[in-house]
Amino acid sequence: MERQVLGRTGRLVSVVGLGTWQLGADWGDVSEDDARAVLAASAQAGRPCFDTADVYGDGRSEQIIGSYLADNPGHGITVATKMGRREPQDADNYTLAKFREWVDRSRRNLRTDRLDLVQLHCPPTAVYSRDEVYDGLDTLVAEGAIASYGVSVETVDEALTAIARPHVATVQIILNAFRLKPLDAVLPAASDAGVGVIARVPLASGLLSGKYTKDTTFAADDHRTYYRDGSACDGGETFSGVDFETGVQAAAEFTTLVHDVVGQDLTPAQVAIAWVWQQPGVSTVIPGARNVEQARSNAAAGDADVLGPLFTSGVREIYDRYLREKIHDRW
């Protein structure tokens, strides 16, 4: 699998990594044995970035990763965790004292003295403009508690604000065939600044797999049930912010595009992942996986041939027809 440097971290990562929200909670039950098997399957594909957060399963995701890595030394894996969602979302909570508390907890969970990459976890917008926030993060780097820091954002404006800061190593943002806005300014700005881009939600919460119908339902403990209408979180996080029925219609068009232009060798999900990592400026894409089969299939997308301008043109046509008016100006 192709590898790229993850922005200012200087670390080499495979273009397809692993998002581990599924291994903590909110996607239905995943046993610890199954979670470790998913980590192993992803690791076999190269030097992935494992993306996690201190709130995924209240630390369960971090703990499983920490246990797996302790049992597999010399793995070459980069772990990107996130912090900030354990407290009420008040910008005044983003202080050095809180950073120390959150980082220390993640270091214990991940069984390491120094975290590879810590990202602010979609904090209030005001946080991105506060000098003292970056001063605090710089202090943690100087003390050796973290190697690098970045941000996970909800909007392109937040991403651009963070990219302008001299020591921000990475920006994580939603980017997929149903969320094209980051292509306009975020990816070029990040590339110019040497900031890595971690692309999350590459399958639009599964829509781009082509497996859903308007009648599809999800388990009660699956975030696609209780975040479905956007009332429990930022509405853009689930299904890329589009209503489910429209998303299913657009996904059917995407599946047809895949079959017509790419053929049958790759699944729609693999093509969706490949399209994201092939965008100039993207360092790695982090699809989630609940089982070994999904992890291996996702990793195989890292070996896909260049999809080409005809496919990208088709993606834009679908976006313009179904999605642009509904979501483009929102995030």
> Using N-to-C axis directions, what is the helix angle for 32-43 and 60-70, rounded to 10°?
60
- Comparing 61-70, 81-90, 141-150, 222-231, the range with the smallest average pLDDT is 222-231
Which amino acid is located at 62 in the chain? E
Question: Residue 160 sits in which domain range?
Answer: 3-327
Q: Looking at the predicted structure, is the pLDDT value of residue 29 above 90?
A: no
Write down the pLDDT at residue 226.
47
Do residues 227 and 169 lie in contact, with contact meaning Cβ atoms separated by under 8 Å?
A: no
Rounded to an integer, the average pLDDT of 248-261 is: 97
236: pLDDT strictly greater than 70: no
Q: What is the pLDDT of residues 100-129, one digit of tens each?
A: 999 999 999 999 999 999 999 999 999 999
Closest C-alpha among 282, 304, 315, 298 to residue 177: 315
What single-letter amino acid sits at 161?
T
Number of domains in the chain: 1
Has residue 230 got a pLDDT over 60? no
- Residue pLDDT, tens place only, 120-153: 999 999 999 999 999 999 999 999 999 999 999 9
Residues 149-169: what's their mean pLDDT? Answer: 98
Q: What is the dihedral of CA 286, 7, 316, 253, to 10 degrees?
A: -10
- 292, 22 contact by CB (below 8 A): no
Residue-level pLDDT at 219: 62
Per the CB < 8 A criterion, the answer to whether 294 and 303 are in contact is no
Spatial distance between the Cα atoms of 316 and 24, rounded to a whole number of angstroms: 34
Average pLDDT, the chain: 92
DSSP state of 146: B
The CATH code of the domain that includes 313 is 3.20.20.100
* Residue 31, φ and ψ in degrees, nearest 5: -70, 160
How far apart CA 19 and CA 80 sit, in angstroms, is 10
Confidence band for 26, pLDDT divided at 50, 70 and 90: low
Query: What's the pLDDT tens digit per position in 76-93?
Result: 999 999 999 999 999 999
Give the Cβ contact number of residue 45 at 10 Å.
Answer: 20
pTM for the complete prediction?
0.94
Quick one: pLDDT at residue 186? 98
pLDDT band at 214 (very low <50, low <70, confident <90, very high): confident
